[in-house]
Copies of this chain bind each other. A is one copy, B any other.
Amino acid sequence: MDTIVLGTVALDNVKTPCGMRRDLLGGSAVHFSMAARFFTRVSLVAIVGKDFPSRHINFLKKKGVNLDSLTMDPGETFRWEGSYEGDLNSALTLHTRLGVLSTFKPFVSETQRKIGNIFLANVDPDIQEELLCRMRKPRLVGLDSMNYWINSKPKSLVKLLKRVDIYVANDQEARVLSGENNLIKAAKSLYSLGAKMVLIKKGEHGVLFYGRGFIFSLPAYPVEKVVDPTGAGDTFAGGFMGYLSSSRRIDSAAIKKALAYGTVAASFNVEDFGVSRTSRLTRADLERRLAKFKRCFSF
């Protein structure tokens, strides 16, 4: 089944201990798509500026991403500049230029309004809600956010939580929004706010998943050479939501498998800058690493 993702398409400048790259194709919707495409047809709702290189458009199309709902506006594409140090667990944002994102109104083509699997990647929660309102037959709705919105629009975010199936947060965000230090308590608190399931991403420490009556926990896939973690969380979400979109039932077995696919997809993402690694990925690569991952801890 199809999946629609609302998020950013960006041009990134990234500096890590492994080097520096400028004008990388990035953004949450792009990283999401690179992993989700293995399981589902992905439609992208986002905005770019006039400066957005046509080679990136062609690249995305070639990867099977439907761009019918990609808006191109006069003005500049959203740009993010960040750097990583030490253990590469958290990015230091050096510069953000919103450009066309500052006036973004999500457009969805008529056909795409019927897509059932919806992922609201990190943008203004009001824009996320706007998109959700346009969708006609939500089957599975995932929501991501970030500290900036948790701090500036907590009410909008909490309101939105009640309408989603899966809230995806990193550990810090989960702690801030819930006010709980212990991650299980944080997950429970976010669940009680209305999210039917809560997925907490812990970077190199894996993920914690909480739903009614079940908790899952997965370590990260051990990656020795982390080159650039930008987009790892979105890639995770792409593998996770992508697999669930393709699954007939959303039960605990499907969720565990989806978490494993998300983990493995994210592990590829960090091995190179931007989408360099995930864009070259094959389904066979994914499956091979999934099998290896399973051997990593099954006992």
Contacts and interface: CB of A to CB of B under 8 A. Distances in A.
A226 B182 contact: yes
Nearest to A210: B222
A208 B223 CA distance: 12
Interface stretch (A156-164, A276-284, A290-298): A290-298
Contact of A184 (B184, B206, B222): B222
Nearest to A188: B224
A217 B208 contact: no
Contacts of A114: none
A217 B298 CA distance: 9
A218 B297 contact: yes
A113 interface: no
A260 B299 CA distance: 8
- Which secondary structure characterizes the binding site on chain A? mixed
A181 interface: yes
B299 A253 contact: yes
Interface in A179-223: 181-185, 188, 202, 204-206, 208, 215-223
A225 B180 CA distance: 12
A259 interface: yes
Interface in A146-186: 181-185
Interface of A: 86-87, 181-185, 188, 202, 204-206, 208, 215-226, 253, 256-257, 259-260, 294, 296-299
Listed from nearest, the 8 A-B pairs whose CB atoms lie closest are A256-B299, A205-B205, A217-B219, A184-B224, A87-B181, A219-B219, A257-B299, A260-B299
